[in-house]
Every structure is written in C-alpha cells, then in structure tokens.
Amino acid sequence: MPAAIEVRGISKHYRITPAGSQPAYRTLREELAELPGRFRHDRRRTRTLVALDAVSFEVEAGDVLGVIGRNGAGKTTLLKVLSRITRPTVGEAVIRGRVGSLLEVGTGFHPELTGRENIFLNGSILGMTRREVREKLEAIVDFAEVGPFLETPVKRYSSGMYVRLAFGVAAHLEPEILLIDEVLAVGDLAFQRKCLGKISDVARSGRTVLFVSHNMTAVSGLCSRVLLLEGGRLASDGPTREVINQYLKSTARAAGERRWARAEAPGNERVRLLAVRVVSEAGEASDLIDVSAPFRIETEFEKLDGEGRLNVSLHIDSLDGVCVFNAISPLDELEPGTYQSAVHVPGKLMNDGVYRVRVLLVVDLVAQVDEHDAIVFDVHDTAREIPWYGRWLGAVRPDLPWSLERLPDTGVSTRHHPSLTLP
Amino acid sequence: MTSAGRSASALPETVIRPVRGWRALGLGELWRQRDLVFLLAWRDVKVRYSQTALGVLWAILQPTLLMVVFAVFLGGPSGLPSGGLPYPLFVFAGLLPWTFFANSVSTAAGSVVASEKLVTKVYFPRLAIPFSAVAAAVVDFVLATGVLVALMLYYGIAPGWRLLAVPAALVPLALGALGFGVLLSALNVAYRDFRYVAGFLVQLWLFATPAVYMEQESTLEGGLPAAAATSEADGAKDSQEPGDAPSASPQREAVGRAPRLALLNPVNQCVAFFRAAVLDRPLPWTGLAWATAIVLPVFLGGCYYFRQVEDRFADTI
C-alpha cells in the first residue's frame, strides 16, 4: 500500500526585503522605481529566506507523526505546503486521501453570525458540503456543548465556548489525513483533554495525523514517530523519545544568550546593555529550562559615568503579553565599569510556556535602557506524573505544600491524625 | 503504481508541486464547492446589514437616492432624453443594473485582501472569494428591484413579453462584473494601489455608461461600432433611427452627443438592454451581442490571471 503522504525534496523560499518588517505586497510606485535596477539584474534589495530546505519523508496511512522544532524552523511552512495554502519552490509531495487541515481553530468564524451559521460557514471552508454539515450538526453541537446558544451570535460566546465550537467543527471533518498545528494552545483543561482524546480517536480509527506542536508532553503522548526540523532542514526522523531528547539537547547549546556589539548596544552615555543570558541549573546558557529546575537570568552592562544609583528591572512576560512578574534589583551606587547582575529564579515557580524578557536599566528611577524582548526562553515540562498533556492554567505554577487528613467518622470525638504531605 | 492496493487507489491523490506554465481555470472545483460561495455571500449580506440602523434598506437607498439626484438635475421637460418614459423610472431602470455592476466590482476588488485570515490559514478554491462578493451584490440587486416594481406601478407602465429577456442582459453583466472583480482582486494582493484604482474606475465608469441616465441612439444596431463611428459625421441618424425612438429633439442637441466610445462599453449595452427588456422597448440585440463578445474574454482572462497568481496570495498578502 502506498504511503499516505510522500514528501520529496520540498523547499520553500521567501523573498524578503532587508528591512524585514516591510510587507510582502508592493506598490506600483516601488515597482516602477526599481525598474531600471531590474534590467541590470540588481537584486541587492531582496534576499531569500529558506523556510524549508529539501525536506523528504513519508508517512504511512494510519501513522501519527509529530513535527517539532524551534520557532522559525519551518514547521508551519511545512503544514502550509501540505495543506496547499502555499506552493513549494522546489520539490513535490503526493497526498493520498482527503486532507483536513487545522492551522488555527475557528478559521472563518464571524462574530456577528450565530453558532449554527458559523458551523455551516466554517464547515464549508474546511471542505464540507452543506449536506455533510447538516448530518453532523448534532454531533458537533454535542461535542461543543453549546446547544442552548446555537442561535446566539458567537461574539456573545465565552472564549471557551468559542474554541469548543470551532474545534468541534474541525473534529468532525473526518478526512483521511488530518494536519494539526498547535490547537492545544487554547482552551481550558477539560477542553484540552477532550481535544486530545478526539485526536487520539482519530488516530486510532486508522487515519493519518500530522501533529505540529511545541507541547512536548502532548507530542510524546500522541505520536509514535517524530520529525525534528532545524532551520528548515529535516534534522531528525525517528522514534518519539529519541528525537525529543535530541531536540532538547541541541537547543540547549546554541541559544540562551544575546550579546550586543559595543557600537550597537542599547543605552546612552550613562549606561549600556551588553548582554542578557538565561542560564540553566547546569551553568550553561540555555533557552530551554525545565519547569522544576532553578535558573538565573544574567544581565551584563557597562556603567559609563560614576553618578547616580542604578538598578536592573526585568519584566518576565508570557508570549501573549501578560507580565508574569517584575524582578527589581536593589539600588547600587556603581563606579564606571562593566558589571554582571543575576537574578535567581527558583524551580517549580514558572508555568511551562515561552517567556519574553524585557530589560530596563534604571538610574535614579529613570529608565536609561528599555529593551523589549531582549531574550526569549522556553520553560518546558516533559516528565509529568499525571497522564495529561495540556497546559497547566495560571501565570505561575508554584509548588505549594498540600496536606490531606482523614476526618474522624461521625459521632467519634476529634482526634489528631498525622497530615499527609503530597510531593 | 500498478501494484497499489485497491482501497488506496480509490482515494483522491493530490500532487503538490511548484507552479509551471498555464493552469486550468479550476471552475469545476469551484462548482463542487458552490456551497462555500453561497455561504460566504450569505455571510457578507448578513454581516453588512446586521448592525446598521437601516439594515437592508441600504440596498434600496443607494440606487434610489441616485435616481432622485439624476431626476432633479438631469430630468424634467428640458432635461436628458428618456425615450418618452418618465425620467425617474427611466433612470432607475438603468441605475439598477449599474449599481449591481459597480458594487460587484468594487467589493470583489477588495475581497481577497479582506479575507487574509482565510487565505493564510486554509485551502479552498480562492476564486470563491471574489465570486461570493458578486453573489452578495445579487442580493442587493434583487432587493432594489422592489423599487423598480413600485415605480412601474406608480407610473402605470406594465412589462410585456420582453421581460423574459432580462436574463440575457444580466448574464453578460454578471460575467463582466466577475471578470473585472476577479482581476482587480488578484492585482490588489500584489499591488495595494488597486484598492484606489477600483474605486476610481467605478466612478469614471458611470460617466462612460451614458445609457444609465439618457436615451442614446443605438449606433450599434445594424453595424459594427467602427463603421458607425466613421459614419457619425454624415447624418447617420436617418438610416439608423430605430422605429419607435422619439424624433430628434432639441434637447439632444443641447446635451451634446453621447460619447461614441461609450458604445464599446459592454456595461452600457447591458444596461440599455436591461431597461428595454423591463420597460418593453425594442431589444438592442446587436449591442448585447457586442457586450457578450467583450465580456467573455474579460471573464476568462480575469480568472486565468487570478489562477496564475493565487498560489502567491498566502505569501504576499
């Protein structure tokens, strides 16, 4: 039997402008202004970003394949190519079977439309006919638990209801091949469990699943085989545990430090920021921190004048911009010179997730340096005791002592019982 | 391949590779997903009117107010020729198809860019987007037809058997709207300039469509436009005057000649034909044939261009 997905040497190149932030679309004026350059084959202004580089693999029908890698490694691009949102620049892929792709939960949902209307619209966007949707309407509504609100515009839904409904439509798509990107990033605990349950149902029913995720816990729970992408290349392809370990080791080496050349260092004539590092328990700069291990964030800076009292302020923000905490160092009067300050974060404090560090260097209560996203790091959680792969709720995940005691049976006078402490 | 199992070979096989050369129009795929076109159009209509105070009245107000403006400034006994019909009715019967065309082109032109979220997150036949914009304009057209009916009742003008010919005017009009709308929507993705082009184009186009607001000599009847244009100087009127057109009136001189070039405009021909069919006047078949001959390649060309560039939408939008 031929493979469900065959990918042969797929590459995807994007042309980007050096400024990076410029939009990809153009105005005619720009095009006309560059016209003379075109004739001279002057291509200085654009360079090529290789998002995928000669990636080849096969997926047998019925396999559940995980795809992991850092941000920008090409995971989403791979899914976009396979779901025909964008074409590869080079290479070829053959897909045998109807494809359902879920790059986002609730694509095409419109807030003004009712739940029922959105089910039909979303279903048809995902490739179902109105008839197919009608047949599955009841199952979708049951799954999403939105029965009483079916005729309410979804703008009045809670975010949980919204996500449940959106995933419900996609979950009932019943294609032979399902491509999923990070759907577990949303929703509450019970819902995540439900989604994962649905995905493993899909997998068990003999369908092929390609599952892209940052959530190592979910990947190791669902997938038997994992692809690791690094810089657009296929770095590894093998059994889940091996590939995940390789990923965690490889990422620990390279990143975790950001250093500025003196000429470009953020700052002014009083103070300059030279480097920011996230350092793991083992003493290595790393942007992958285990949820249970302590780590420190080091800030290297240069004080240029000898005046004023300086302190370092670090904002630790979650990826969606919520400040988890603000660590502020004591005030110090510093001679001119280069300094390194470090803040020590205990283990079992932060939740798993991606965090951004904003660094402020403050002299006499006036910020001299304010560097957003100075460094980004990842707190991950691979070894879990509870068989649940969702994300813990909450901004932090402190390890708090618990106690449990057995109360005396009714009618018996109170007596002391030793308390049980859970780890 | 030959050894492939039966069950596997029954599955649809999709080959993904870089685009090279010309591609099929893919109208078959679009037809299979016609539910999507329908639902997108219906979403547009519902959302457009759900939070406006006047709701669906807007669909009626736009051509009605234009009619009032035209009637006040251009109608009346000393105004533009209207073929012996009450000017408000005359102009509304022209504005109705015109508004459909104008709204179709301008909403379709911006439709793909407005659907950025869809385009970058899910695959479906991209042509569904501009097609649904035109389909949504059909709804407005149908609603505004009510005003036409009211006007005909008011002036006591009944339609005749020619009413059956209305689709003959609407099909090329819709094809033209789709052709231009699809083309502009694709260009708009690559060059945002076309956002402004579409609005401006539609404004100018009204002036190039004099059939909306005045009776024209049907120069195309019985001759090619080129021939008609050259014979313009030496009193072509006598030989080409349609049977029941009003005799040459002084108003006609006062307004000046309608630009002959307008006769090349397929929309102009469709508008004239639509009004003739609705108000039971002789049908300008030659003009309509001419319009269809222009509109078909525009439609096919627009769709071809769209298909050529649609794979880049997700990357450039």
Give the model confidence (pLDDT) of B37-76 as tens digits: 999 999 988 888 877 777 778 888 888 998 888 888 887 7
CA distance A238 to A218: 17
Q: What pLDDT, in 10s, does the model give residues A179-238?
A: 888 665 555 666 767 777 777 787 778 889 898 887 676 787 788 899 999 888 999 999
**Is pLDDT above 50 for A277?**
yes
Q: What pLDDT, in 10s, does the model give residues B268-282?
A: 999 999 999 999 888
Lowest mean pLDDT among A86-95, A244-253, B131-140, B225-234: B225-234
Cβ-defined contact of B16 to A93 (cutoff 8 Å): yes
Distance (Å) from the C-alpha of residue B4 to the closest C-alpha of chain A? 6
**Which positions in chain B touch A61 (Cβ < 8 Å)?**
8
Cβ-defined contact of A125 to B124 (cutoff 8 Å): yes
Cβ-defined contact of A87 to B191 (cutoff 8 Å): no
**Which positions in chain B touch A98 (Cβ < 8 Å)?**
11-12
Q: Select from A1, A29, A31 the Cβ nearest to the Cβ of B8.
A: A1
CA distance B214 to B210: 6
pTM: 0.71
**Which positions in chain A touch B43 (Cβ < 8 Å)?**
110, 113, 117, 121
DSSP letter for each residue of A150-196:
TTSBGGGS-HHHHHHHHHHHHHT---SEEEEESGGGSS-HHHHHHHH
* DSSP code, position A62: T
Return all residues near A371 (Cβ < 8 A) that are at least 6 apart. A266, A273, A276, A358, A359, A360
Return all residues near A109 (Cβ < 8 A) that are at least 6 apart. A118, A121, A122, A154, A162, A166
Q: Select from B17, B40, B314 the Cβ nearest to the Cβ of A88.
A: B17
A315 in Cβ contact with A302 (< 8 Å): no
Q: Percentage of chain B with pLDDT > 70? A: 80
**Which positions in chain A touch B311 (Cβ < 8 Å)?**
86-87
Cβ-defined contact of B5 to A1 (cutoff 8 Å): yes
Q: Give the distance, in angstroms, between the CA of residue B12 and the centroid of all CA atoms in the same chain.
A: 37
**Is pLDDT above 90 for A302?**
yes
For residue B313, give the chain A residue with the closest CA.
A86
For residue B43, give the chain A residue with the closest CA.
A113
Cβ-defined contact of B14 to A91 (cutoff 8 Å): no
Q: Select from B5, B17, B122 the Cβ nearest to the Cβ of A126.
A: B122
* pLDDT at residue number B85: 84
- What Rg, from alpha-carbon coordinates, does chain B have? 22
Q: What pLDDT, in 10s, does the model give residues A394-415?
A: 888 888 899 999 998 876 555 5
Mean pLDDT of chain A: 81
Distance (Å) from the C-alpha of residue B150 to the closest C-alpha of chain A? 32
Distance (Å) from the C-alpha of residue B161 to the closest C-alpha of chain A? 37
ipTM of the complex: 0.75
Q: Provide mean pLDDT across the span B88-99.
A: 92
Cβ-defined contact of A120 to B117 (cutoff 8 Å): no
Higher pLDDT, A274 or A163: A274
* Nearest of A261, A256, A258 to residue A378 by alpha carbon: A256
Return all residues near A193 (Cβ < 8 A) that are at least 6 apart. A388, A390
A-B contacts at Cβ under 8 angstroms? 125
* pLDDT at residue number B260: 63
Return all residues near B310 (Cβ < 8 A) that are at least 6 apart. B126, B127, B186
Q: Tokens 């901004």 appear where?
A: A395
Residues in chain B: 317
Distance (Å) from the C-alpha of residue A383 to the closest C-alpha of chain B? 33
Q: Percentage of chain B with pLDDT > 90? A: 36
CA distance A304 to B60: 71
Cβ-defined contact of A25 to B190 (cutoff 8 Å): yes
Q: Percentage of chain A with pLDDT > 70? A: 80
CA distance B134 to B146: 19
**Which positions in chain B touch A2 (Cβ < 8 Å)?**
1, 4-5, 8
Q: Helix (H, G, I), strand (E, B), or coil: what is residue A217?
A: helix
Q: Select from A29, A80, A90 the Cβ nearest to the Cβ of B314.
A: A80
Q: Tokens 């006309």 appear where?
A: A32
CA distance A298 to A71: 23
Cβ-defined contact of A87 to B18 (cutoff 8 Å): yes
DSSP letter for each residue of A84-153:
TSS--SEEEEEEES-EEEESSTTTT--TTSBHHHHHHHHHHHTT--HHHHHHHHHHHHHHHT-GGGTTSB
Residues of B with CB under 8 A from a CB of A: 1, 4-5, 7-8, 11-19, 33, 35-36, 38-40, 43, 46-47, 50-51, 117-124, 189-193, 311, 314-317
Reported as type and span, the H/E element at residue B183 is: helix B166-190
* pLDDT at residue number A336: 92
Cβ-defined contact of A125 to B122 (cutoff 8 Å): yes
* pLDDT at residue number A29: 67
Q: Compute CA distances A343 → A297, A325, A355, whole Å.
A: 5, 12, 15
Distance (Å) from the C-alpha of residue A20 to the closest C-alpha of chain B? 13
Cβ-defined contact of A113 to B43 (cutoff 8 Å): yes
B103 in Cβ contact with B140 (< 8 Å): yes
Q: Select from B39, B124, B314 the Cβ nearest to the Cβ of A127.
A: B124
Distance (Å) from the C-alpha of residue B119 to the closest C-alpha of chain A? 7
Two tokens, residue B41: 């159009």
Which one of A9-18, A39-48, A144-153, B209-218 scores highest in mean pLDDT?
A144-153
**Is pLDDT above 80 for A140?**
yes
Residue of B36, B45, B132, B194 best to disrupt the A interface, most CBs of A under 10 A? B36
DSSP β-bridge partners for residue A5: A59, A95
Instruction: Convert A344-410 into a string of H (helix), E (strand) and C (coil).
Output: EECCCCECCEEEEEEEEEEECCEEEEEEEEEEEEEEECCCCCCCCCCCCCCCECCCCCEEECCCCCC
Cβ-defined contact of B16 to A87 (cutoff 8 Å): yes
Q: Classify residue A52 by burial, with Cβ atoms within 10 Å: 0-12, 13-18, 19+.
A: buried
